[in-house]
Amino acid sequence: MDNSISVKVNEWLGGNYDETTKQIIKNLQAENELELTESFYKNLEFGTGGLRGIMGVGTNRMNKYTVGMATQGFANYLKKVYGQEEIKIVIGHDSRNNSRFFAETTANVFAANGCKVFLFEALRPTPELSFAIRHLGCKAGVVCTASHNPKEYNGYKAYWNDGSQLVPPHDKNVIKEVEAIANVDEVKWTGGQANITLLGKEMDEAYIGMVKALSIYPDVIAKQHNLKIVYTPIHGTGITIVPETLKQFGFSNVTIVEEQATPDGNFPTVVYPNPEETEAMSIGLKKAIEIDADILCGTDPDSDRVGIGVKNHKGEWVLMNGNQTLVLAFAYLIEARKLKGLAKPNDMVISTIVSTDMAHNVAQQNNISSYGVLTGFKWIAELIREKEKDENYIIGGEESFGLMIGNGTRDKDAVSAVALLCEMAAYEKEHGRSLFDKLIELYIKYGFYYESLISITKKGMNGQAEIAEMMEGYRTNPPKVINGSKVVEILDYEKQIGKDFESGDSWKIELPKSNVLQFITEDGSKISARPSGTEPKIKFYFSVNTKLNSKNEFDEKFELLQNKIKGIIASLNL
């Protein structure tokens, strides 16, 4: 074992750590040196979004001590920023194993530092935490969740006073304060119990009230209240809020997927509790087919991601990808607001650079301002902050099954998304169509865009290095032709430079630095490469498009676009 790792191990064995932790370390020393090395070879990084990692003992794991030290650093920064002002903080958590323990640990450390803490009495959706920060006028918030990661993981998402995750300069400044905590003895663990207030039903009611106010066609829901909805929380927090929200919207025929209704951090029916995964939605899909439902909705453990299933033009059940859901939601909000006289000349929508360009087409053809930001809803929130004095934010979204509707939250919100998607299904049914029929109509009107992605995981100590090597290869030796089409443009968001291969012109990209590369080909395809900020994986996003003249052409053109993406993947040897 490397000497630096041995030093860390001995510090834990000799320091102020509980006896159970020390015994687990001793067992690993005797039985599993590889696991011990993985647990201590580095410190679990407090990134720009917070912590995320495998649970266990050690500096590279999610545990009481890494969570406590992160919280102490965050508290130190808040006190530097706000001085003598009262610092109010909201703490929430999801259904994962140890999430309640981590949330209580976080609340205790903040409270011991003199902060006024609002701790949710039990698990709640992450977007409700974002709402609560804004509703209560808090300075910050933390939710203990690893979102859609496998059951071994947990995490710690840090939020600022507008309800969004940390952005510059606060993200980097908090990281510095966290890294300055040298050992657990610097953490104030106890002594502030009187500073903790529990949040429960009243906050739920306020949050659901905010979501209900987003409804545009309550009259249509009243007519279609019997819309057959199947909903699965995939063992997560959605069960605490989504059914009641749908009820208050006016829907009376909601079937809960019982096998996945109970919150359970072991996620017994799935490998990945992620509505992006077909497997995670499969039980819900079976139920939707069984009862001949109109729509299937699924949310991830912390209820910020939403997946939907509908019947296609042939009557077959299909799962929508995130871009398709995004386009449907953007179009609905824009078109419905116009029809109801709610549209404003300064309306705006926001999506991310790896999401479908079709969203911009929908907005622009309706004379709505449309912006692209880096991946992550914190960047959508930051742009709202910059523009909210002059422009009216309507909706934001990204391809990874996330939507943020209206101004109640500043993070992706699957609760409001489920409610609005069901309203959309009701609206289309009232007009004799399905959501899939509407999607084809949008393809004819705005262009037929289709997207897909693949993720390549590199585990272990060398994983991040391998991913960095892949990205460097694309930078130093970029492909000149992809799937038989010339690369005409490269966008390097790390270097903040765009380059036109035809003219040789280059320009500065006016977005913060981010390790993303995009290749635009002559036939209009867009290929993006982006290492994950929270996991040892690299994602490749593919976007292709063509013209669709009629519904009759759909199957032929869809196959063409699918084959084009297969060709791109083969061309890049992925």
- Tokens 């299933």 -> residue: 309
Residue 468: give the domain boundaries.
Answer: 449-571
- Check whether residue 400 and residue 457 sit in a common domain: no
| Predicted pLDDT at 34 | 92
Instruction: Report the C-alpha gap between 514 and 111 in whole angstroms.
Output: 35
- Check whether residue 146 and residue 109 sit in a common domain: yes
- Check whether residue 329 and residue 366 sit in a common domain: yes
* Complete edge-to-edge strand list for the sheet that includes strand 140-144: 50-54, 153-159, 140-144, 88-93, 116-120, 196-199
pTM: 0.95
| Predicted pLDDT at 203 | 98
User: Does the active-site annotation cover 147?
Assistant: yes
Q: Are 37 and 58 in contact (CB under 8 A)?
A: no
CATH number of the domain within which 466 lies: 3.30.310
Instruction: Report the C-alpha gap between 357 and 109 in whole angstroms.
Output: 44
Instruction: Report the C-alpha gap between 168 and 561 in whole angstroms.
Output: 38
3-state class (DSSP) for residue 316: coil
- Check whether residue 180 and residue 52 sit in a common domain: yes
Of 446, 465, 492, at which residue does a domain stop? 446
Structure tokens at 480: 């000149």
Q: Are 539 and 454 in contact (CB under 8 A)?
A: yes
Q: Evaluate the CA torsion angle 127, 132, 135, 140 in order and state its sign.
A: negative
Of 390, 422, 446, at which residue does a domain stop? 446
Residue 118 CA: distances (Å) to CA of 80, 86, 92, 193, 322: 21, 13, 9, 11, 33
The domain total for the chain is: 3
For 21, residues 6+ apart whose C-beta sits below 8 A from its C-beta are 12, 57, 63, 65
> Identity (one letter) of the amino acid at 402?
G
Instruction: Report the C-alpha gap between 37 and 348 in whole angstroms.
Output: 49
- Check whether residue 48 and residue 173 sit in a common domain: yes
- Asked, for residue 350, whether it belongs to a domain, the answer is yes
- Check whether residue 240 and residue 121 sit in a common domain: no
- Asked, for residue 398, whether it belongs to a domain, the answer is yes
Spatial CA neighbour of 406 closest among 174, 163, 154, 71: 163
Instruction: Tell me 446's DSSP state.
Output: H
- Check whether residue 527 and residue 484 sit in a common domain: yes
- Asked, for residue 264, whether it belongs to a domain, the answer is yes
Number of helical (H) and strand (E) elements in the chain, helices listed first: 18, 23
- Asked, for residue 21, whether it belongs to a domain, the answer is no
Choosing from 130, 147, 355, 525, the catalytic residue is 147
At what angle are helices 64-82 and 170-179 packed, to 10 degrees?
Answer: 120
Q: Are 128 and 78 in contact (CB under 8 A)?
A: no
CATH number of the domain within which 345 lies: 3.40.120.10
- Check whether residue 396 and residue 469 sit in a common domain: no
| Predicted pLDDT at 437 | 97
Of 431, 446, 461, at which residue does a domain stop? 446
- Asked, for residue 410, whether it belongs to a domain, the answer is yes
- Asked, for residue 30, whether it belongs to a domain, the answer is no
Q: Evaluate the CA torsion angle 235, 241, 244, 245 in order and state its sign.
A: negative
Instruction: Report the C-alpha gap between 255 and 275 in whole angstroms.
Output: 17
- Check whether residue 347 and residue 439 sit in a common domain: yes
Structure tokens at 133: 């920060």
- Asked, for residue 60, whether it belongs to a domain, the answer is yes
- Asked, for residue 171, whether it belongs to a domain, the answer is yes
Residue 458 CA: distances (Å) to CA of 25, 27, 467, 518, 538: 26, 27, 7, 21, 8
| Predicted pLDDT at 466 | 87
- Check whether residue 232 and residue 345 sit in a common domain: yes
- Check whether residue 367 and residue 343 sit in a common domain: yes
- Check whether residue 97 and residue 229 sit in a common domain: no
pLDDT in 10s for each residue of the chain, 574 residues: 788 999 999 999 999 999 999 999 999 999 999 999 999 999 998 887 899 999 999 999 999 999 999 999 999 999 999 999 999 999 999 999 999 999 999 999 999 999 999 999 999 999 999 999 999 999 999 999 998 888 999 999 999 999 999 999 999 999 999 999 999 999 999 999 999 999 999 999 999 999 999 999 999 999 999 999 999 999 999 999 999 999 999 999 999 999 999 999 999 999 999 999 999 999 999 999 999 999 999 999 999 999 999 999 999 999 999 999 999 999 999 999 999 999 999 999 999 999 999 999 999 999 999 999 999 999 999 999 999 999 999 999 999 999 999 999 999 999 999 999 999 999 999 999 999 999 999 999 999 999 999 999 887 667 788 898 999 999 999 999 999 999 999 999 999 999 998 898 999 999 999 999 999 999 999 999 999 765 678 999 999 999 999 999 999 999 999 999 999 999 999 8
Instruction: Report the C-alpha gap between 356 and 371 in whole angstroms.
Output: 12
